[in-house]
Every structure is written in structure tokens, then in C-alpha cells.
């Protein structure tokens, strides 16, 4: 997702949470679900659960593929206070925190990468009547996270069940015997080597069996 789109999504997060007047919005217990469609045909689905004071947002691209997930803690008025940002593959890529003014309205949102470097700042302002104005987005020259989409790889070929599969076992290491190396000979711990099988007695030759000779 392009930085411009990401900035817009971050900015839109707190527009709904900001109070239209000096007084903060009243808390609404229960679960509130919303959907918001963006100009690039992507959309964001949000679920606010006041029972546990958590807000989860999922953003999907125009094809319905998950590109971003945000999980925030909210205060008793349903306003996000801090949270984590994940890509479409559920990798943690950023962290956000909010700053409030003296009227308990969202004043600023700072988003930092995993190194703690703030790469985006969203400033919220209000007019004389207390109505929220369009937020200002400031992007810093710092490494911003890459948002990977939740795609499925269909290019990997499946193994043929009729063919034997490799077990993953490595061949036995070579064993040094004098100046020669015997490849594939087993190695045993001390005292655990199996005893060699006893040699079979030599058979008497035909002439020795005929005249009663003994083998040496």
C-alpha cells in the first residue's frame, strides 16, 4: 500500500473518535461495528468492544485482500489511546500512541516503527465551535514499515504420493581408518558399539576329509 493511502487510513482512524464539541463523546457500552470505504476502493472494517475496551480495524484492498490490521486500547469514552499495527500477514510493523488536549480530545497521533523512530505524525485541530477539522499528516524521512498483503502461494507443487519422499536424514559421516576414509560407516558412543558376529569355522577340504587331515 502506498504511503499516501496509509496516511489517509491512519488519519481517518480518529476522525470518528474525535468529539464534535468541547465535551467528549459519551461512552456507548457494547460492541459497535462500522465499515468505511476509501477513494481507492479499499475499505476498513472496525469493531469497538467497550466490554474489554479494545478497538480492532482491518483494511482490505479493492480485491478484498487484508492489507493492514490495527489493534488499539481505548479509554472509557471509546477513544484509542495506544496500539499495534500489523500487516496483512499478521506481522507487527508499527506502534501508535495518542496525545489528548485539555478537553480530552485527540490532539496528536504518533506512529513509530519497531526501532522506536516516529515516521508519521497526525495533528488534529478543532474550530471555534469545537468541530473537528481535517487532520494534518506529517511524514518523516525515516524507514516506514512495509505492509504485506495476506496472499496465498499457489505456485508450490504438491508431492506425488506414488513417489517415495525424502526423510530429511543426512548420510552418515565418513570415518577415518588409518589413512583411508570409509564413507557412510556408522559412529557409536563409547561402549555402545555392537559386537562383531563370530566367524564361521572353516570347512575341511575334500582331501583332508578323505584322509582324516586336520585344519591348522
* 71-86 mean pLDDT: 95
- Tens-digit pLDDT profile for residues 166-210: 444 343 344 444 433 343 333 333 444 445 545 555 655 655 665
Closest CA to 48 of 18, 25, 71, 24: 71
* 103-129 mean pLDDT: 94
- Tens-digit pLDDT profile for residues 38-65: 999 999 999 999 999 999 999 999 999 9
pTM of the model as a whole: 0.56
Domain ranges of the chain: 3-139
**Cβ contacts of 105 within 8 Å, gap of 6 or more:** 18, 19, 22, 24, 124, 126, 132
Amino acid at each position: 500500500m502506498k504511503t499516501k493511502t496509509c496516511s489517509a487510513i491512519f488519519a481517518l482512524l480518529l476522525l470518528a473518535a474525535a468529539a464534535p464539541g468541547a465535551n467528549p463523546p459519551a461512552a456507548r457500552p457494547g460492541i459497535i461495528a462500522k465499515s468505511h470505504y476509501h477513494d481507492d476502493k479499499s475499505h476498513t472494517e472496525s469493531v469497538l468492544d467497550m466490554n474489554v475496551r479494545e478497538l480492532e480495524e482491518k483494511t482490505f484492498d479493492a480485491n478484498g485482500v487484508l492489507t493492514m490490521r490495527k489493534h488499539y486500547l481505548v479509554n472509557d469514552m471509546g477513544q484509542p489511546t495506544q496500539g499495534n499495527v500489523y500487516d496483512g500477514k499478521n506481522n507487527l510493523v508499527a506502534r501508535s500512541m495518542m496525545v489528548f488536549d485539555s478537553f480530552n480530545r485527540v490532539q496528536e497521533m504518533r506512529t513509530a516503527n519497531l526501532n522506536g523512530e516516529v515516521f508519521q505524525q497526525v495533528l488534529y485541530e478543532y474550530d471555534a465551535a469545537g468541530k473537528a477539522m481535517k487532520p494534518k499528516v506529517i511524514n518523516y524521512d525515516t524507514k516506514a514499515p512495509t505492509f504485506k498483503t495476506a496472499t496465498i502461494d499457489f505456485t508450490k507443487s504438491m508431492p506425488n504420493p506414488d513417489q517415495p519422499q525424502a526423510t530429511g536424514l543426512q548420510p552418515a559421516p565418513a570415518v577415518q581408518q588409518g589413512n583411508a576414509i570409509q564413507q557412510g560407516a556408522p559412529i557409536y558412543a563409547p561402549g555402545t558399539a555392537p559386537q562383531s558376529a563370530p566367524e564361521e569355522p572353516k570347512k575341511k577340504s575334500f582331501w583332508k576329509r578323505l584322509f582324516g587331515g586336520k585344519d591348522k
